[in-house]
Structure 1
Amino acid sequence: MAATQPGAVPLSAEDYRRQLRRAVIASTIGTTIEWYDFFLYSIVTGLVFAKLYFPESDPIVGTLQAFLIYAVGFLARPVGAAIFGHYGDRIGRKATLIVTLLLMGLATFAVAFVPTYATIGIWGAVILTVLRFIQGVGVGGEWGGSVLMSMEWARTNSHRGFVASWPQFGVPAGLFIANLAVLALSQMSGNAFLTWGWRVPFFLSIVLVAIGLYIRLNILETPIFAKLLSEQKIEKAPMLEVLRRQPKDIFLSAFARMAEQAPFYIFTAFVFTYGVRTLGATRDMLLTAVLAASVLEFFTIPFFGHISDLIGRRRMYMIGAAAAGIFGFVYFAMVDTKDPVWIFVAIVLSLVPHSMMYGPQAALIAESFTGRLRYSGASLGYQLASVIAGGPAPLIATALFAYYHSGYAIAGYILVCALFSLVASWRMGDYTNKDISREYDEGRAMDDHGHARPAH
């Protein structure tokens, strides 16, 4: 397929490769910044917000209240997916990604200035909730565009899983930077971290946003969207159209993510509350362990994305879902020993099943939708999981432990999520190594799962 921009001369092979590299770098760095913002909030929620914004509540109740604000960001994600999915399929991937970056970054920057309960009472929590919602809207529109910016520049069909896994790399990279920032500032003496130190990483996010904006302004639109534009195949209401044409793919995408997303937020957000209060672990040890786990994902996410190109996207994903369901019990058996070494090892290994799914996940979901509806469909399917999995996970984990006083109850919840994902991913179509540059509904045959089959 010749790569062109509207009204432009086709790109040479060298220019094409250069644009692919730029697209991958821009998507990866952009998602790293956005996930830094999002995870920073996750970490500080468990360590700081309950004390500063709900000081008069019982510790458990205060934690639940703080995680409720945390969950608002997840409820906002499908809203962002609907808004930016529409514009991503209407005006292009690049322009939409610039807006999501600014929205997310400015909301995070503003968190640094929110007064505490001691200053303005409950209004501090209200302001946090509004900013968290805006953060969630930005993230809701970010993922789909980042994945498509990389995947739709892939020159051949045989390595789309690997190329699309690089925006996913932004998750462990953002997690690493956020944990590193909090770990460094938590070394402050006395109550300095609790008083003002926690605000510094939020303040610094504006610098990262400026870097990401510069990078994204210097990439071209993807060849697939440029082709849709030149052939006048842009839908007037792509979100409504994808809901009409591919509702099954949207819901299967959401449920397929349950085994990936729910355990992830238990292992990276709830772990701070559980580790400090129940296991007696130090905050610094937990932060260091999550840092190590995120570094491991630097390698495992692209590795499993590559493996999905070899053995098939759906097969790789189902292996990961099964591993996640089993590992929950292994995880709590290890951490409940209260031995710092076992706790550290469990946390480091906790993200391996996540990588097994998250590596191939971008291509698995994005490939399920036809090109002119891809931003809308992939974004909505991906972000709906935030409502049923990611957002409620720390809340459900906290409630289960409060009732059963056992981590194995949480492991049972992870197993249920894994079963949902296994069934959903089994029902999804597998487009590994198939052509996704043509529209799926242009009179071609359907596969055995009821999906339009792309041409080889």
Structure 2
Amino acid sequence: MAEASQAVRGVVTKGAVAVQKTLAQPVPTARVVVASAFGTIVEWYDFFVYGTAAALVFGKLFFPATDPLISTLAAFSVYAVGYLARPLGGLIFGHYGDRIGRRSMLVLSLLLMGFGTFFVGLLPTYEQAGILAPICLVLLRLIQAIGLGGEWGGAVLMVAETAPASRRGLFGSFVQLGNPVGRLVATGVFALATRLPDADFLSWGWRIPFLASIVLVLVGLFIRTRLDETPAFKDLRQSGATARMPVLEALTAFRRETVTAIGLKVTEVAWVGILTVFAVSYLTTQLGMAKSFVLDAVTLATLVELFVMPLSGWLSDKFGRRVIYLAGTGFGIAFAFPLFWLLATREPMIILFTIVVGICLAQGMVFALHASFMPELFGTQVRYSGISLGFQIGAAIGGGLTPVIAAAAVGWSGGATWPISLFLTALGVLTFAAVLSTRETSGSSMEN
């Protein structure tokens, strides 16, 4: 009887300890989720407003040329600079984010990104300042990209290191909503601006989306300065276990995970470049579609994506990250060639459907999982550096040069689009292999 009583007490004690640990698990407050998500909205708005301007006006205003293709290529090349500089931001902010903390890096990155965008709206054009105009445009793009390169990792970790494991995919997807919401606001503002007479739009209308970013930056700063550090990093700092060179450790001790994270990113970001940047130029200049219609199509696709992404995050909590990721990547591979066949019909409803489906399933479905899948691959001491490197290097490979490659391929092939589809297919295979090479991470602990 005594032994039974002792056994019961042991079970009760263990149960009480388990309950205590469960109750002690940090649950993300609305403030953490909103602050992280709003900051990413500002960052992605700044980034996408540049991409839209590159497709519509920068070629004419900053890189005038007798051949429109050369002008477009020049504008897209500066767009690519933003992607190529983002790994530098990931290196810098990743190092200090793992050494000093997530919160302070969020504030600094927001300032860099926001003011880099605001001053683009004040730049003189090539006609007004000559070669100095495109040089300043490139420099501001570099500042903007470095800020974004560091911002994403911090915003994601604020939620990922706080969320309960069973809901990390869902909560992480809310942070990722900053991407489509930022794109929605950017394309929406430009859709309004393009309704101005062409002379007014080229003269001053294109500046409005850049100057308006200052309002978002100030609100974002107010929200983010009120955040506390994540529990996981607090514990790491108190134990004195922070890495001296976290970037180097991520590239050595977590080499496989870093390569996997790069592979997770390359395909999704290529679809962004094709459907939100290149397609805007291709449909308007090559196929003669109205600018306002194309921007409206991207806007509608983004609205639908706002529902697809949380659903994807929720499903990944239920069924695992890998199966959802493989489904989205597999769709992208299958859709790479039909994409341009459908666009070439010039039928507005078909084009609308194509853009919506492409953005939601080939991009949004997998992008939603970056905020949970990538952090779960790394230990706390190098997590900021690891996910920043993976995300930003993958973005540089798959996204930075995609609009340039696509525009050059169309020019080289005499208008044929099969090289672009082949490129998307190849990247899709790489991502598919990266997912298959890693373990299932949903439900894993962030305390490591």
Structure 1 residue 220, shift from structure 2 partner: 1.1
Aligned residue in 2 for 1:452: none
Matches within 5 A, 1:309-328: 309-328=317-336
Letter in 2 for 1:436: M
Is residue 183 of structure 1 aligned with residue 191 of structure 2?
yes
Structure 1 residue runs of 4+, over 6 Å off?
12-15
Give, in whole Å, the separation in 2 of the partners of 1:189 and 1:274.
Answer: 22
> Deviations along 1:50-72, whole A, 9 cap, x unmatched?
00111134100110011111100
Aligned residue in 1 for 2:221: 213
Change (3 A) 1:314 1:16: closer
- Give the conservation status (yes or no) of the 8 Å contact 1:259–1:325: no
Is residue 300 of structure 1 aligned with residue 308 of structure 2?
yes
Structure 1 residue 300, shift from structure 2 partner: 0.7
Give, in whole Å, the separation in 2 of the partners of 1:296 and 1:244.
Answer: 40
Question: Which of 85, 107, 113 pairs up with 2:94?
Answer: 85
Is residue 106 of structure 1 aligned with residue 115 of structure 2?
yes
Letter in 2 for 1:246: F
Letter in 1 for 2:71: G
Percent identity over the alignment is 38
Aligned residue in 1 for 2:140: 131
- Give the conservation status (yes or no) of the 8 Å contact 2:265–2:390: no
Aligned residue in 1 for 2:6: none
- Give the conservation status (yes or no) of the 8 Å contact 2:268–2:367: yes
SS in 1 for 2:256: helix
> Deviations along 1:246-301, whole A, 9 cap, x unmatched?
11211221122122111111000001110111111100000100000111111111
Question: Which of 385, 396, 409 pairs up with 1:400?
Answer: 409
> Deviations along 1:409-432, whole A, 9 cap, x unmatched?
311211111011101121123211
Is residue 291 of structure 1 aligned with residue 299 of structure 2?
yes
What is the number of equivalent residue pairs in this alignment? Answer: 427
> Deviations along 1:344-374, whole A, 9 cap, x unmatched?
1111111122122112122111110101110
- Give the conservation status (yes or no) of the 8 Å contact 2:26–2:231: no
Is residue 24 of structure 1 aligned with residue 33 of structure 2?
yes
Using the TM superposition, name which of 370-379 and 349-358 deviates more: 349-358
Structure with higher helix content: 2
> Deviations along 1:319-346, whole A, 9 cap, x unmatched?
1111011112222121100111211111
> Deviations along 1:189-245, whole A, 9 cap, x unmatched?
241011111001101101100000000011111110111111111112111121121
SS in 2 for 1:218: coil
Question: Which of 439, 442, 445 pairs up with 1:432?
Answer: 442
SS in 1 for 2:369: helix
Using the TM superposition, name which of 360-369 and 132-141 deviates more: 360-369
Is residue 245 of structure 1 aligned with residue 245 of structure 2?
no
Change (3 A) 1:227 1:328: same
SS in 2 for 1:207: helix
Give, in whole Å, the separation in 1 of the partners of 2:117 and 2:233.
Answer: 30
Aligned residue in 2 for 1:161: 169
Q: Which is greater in Rg?
A: 2
Give, in whole Å, the separation in 1 of the partners of 2:32 and 2:83.
Answer: 27
- Give the conservation status (yes or no) of the 8 Å contact 2:41–2:178: yes
Give, in whole Å, the separation in 2 of the partners of 1:218 and 1:123.
Answer: 39
Matches within 5 A, 1:49-60: 49-60=58-69
RMSD over aligned Cα atoms: 1.7
- Give the conservation status (yes or no) of the 8 Å contact 2:173–2:313: yes
Using the TM superposition, name which of 355-364 and 61-70 deviates more: 355-364
Give, in whole Å, the separation in 2 of the partners of 1:267 and 1:183.
Answer: 16
Change (3 A) 1:142 1:57: farther
Give, in whole Å, the separation in 1 of the partners of 2:34 and 2:342.
Answer: 37
Letter in 2 for 1:328: A
Give, in whole Å, the separation in 2 of the partners of 1:63 and 1:321.
Answer: 29
- Give the conservation status (yes or no) of the 8 Å contact 2:102–2:154: yes
> Deviations along 1:301-334, whole A, 9 cap, x unmatched?
1110111111111221111111011112222121
Give, in whole Å, the separation in 1 of the partners of 2:55 and 2:226.
Answer: 38
Matches within 5 A, 1:133-282: 133-154=142-163, 156-282=164-290
Q: TM-score, normalised by structure 2?
A: 0.92
Is residue 117 of structure 1 aligned with residue 126 of structure 2?
yes
Change (3 A) 1:306 1:195: same
- Give the conservation status (yes or no) of the 8 Å contact 1:253–1:425: no
Give, in whole Å, the separation in 2 of the partners of 1:82 and 1:409.
Answer: 33
Structure 1 residue 392, shift from structure 2 partner: 0.7
